């Protein structure tokens, strides 16, 4: 087994998807990246949530677009679904094993997914300058 960004075991496919997603976020200057690992939780909606934010609706859309493009190019995967492009305040991308949430800061604070899922293992990834 390969360790994912939380240090927990992940399948090679999930680990690659997480790493590719985080790289795509960072390539568009997304920040405050958090990985929530739901392994061991039977009622979880996915194995992982990747949460990040952009500073404008344009940046939120650009981050989400880049995630979809890089995952498709590098891993050959398309999301099962995605939503939120209409106002680009919160875009969610569903890859089945992981769900990616790209927020504006105020919207992220309002929905506070990190506290909602506080019983799951969480790791904050450092911002790249």
Q: How far apart are CA 106 and CA 45, in angstroms?
A: 24
Q: Distances in Å between the alpha carbon of 32 and those of 22, 55, 80, 114?
A: 11, 11, 25, 12
Q: What is the pLDDT of residues 67-121, one digit of tens each?
A: 999 999 999 999 999 999 999 999 999 999 999 999 999 999 999 999 999 889 9
With contact defined as beta carbons under 8 Å apart, do 120 and 44 qualify?
Answer: yes
Residue 123's contacts (CB-CB under 8 Å, 6 or more residues apart) are 5, 6, 7, 34, 35, 37
Q: Domains, the chain, ranges and CATH?
A: 2-118 (3.30.460.10)
What's CA 84's distance to the chain center, in Å? 14
pLDDT in tens, 35-64: 999 887 777 888 899 999 999 999 999 999
Which pLDDT band holds residue 9 (cuts at 50, 70, 90)? Answer: low
**Residue 6 pLDDT more than 60?**
no
């Amino acid at each position: 087994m390969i360790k994912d960004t939380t240090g927990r075991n992940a399948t090679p496919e999930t680990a690659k998807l997480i790493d590719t997603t985080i790289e795509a976020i960072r390539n568009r200057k997304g920040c405050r990246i958090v990985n929530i690992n739901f392994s061991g939780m039977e009622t979880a909606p996915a194995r992982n949530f990747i949460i990040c934010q952009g500073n404008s609706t344009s940046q939120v859309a650009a981050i989400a677009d880049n995630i979809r493009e890089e995952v498709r190019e590098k891993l050959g995967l398309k999301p099962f679904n995605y939503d939120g492009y209409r106002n680009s305040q919160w875009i969610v991308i569903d890859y089945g094993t992981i769900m990616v949430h790209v927020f504006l800061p105020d919207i992220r604070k309002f929905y506070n997914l990190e506290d909602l899922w506080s019983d799951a293992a969480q790791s904050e990834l450092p911002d790249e300058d």
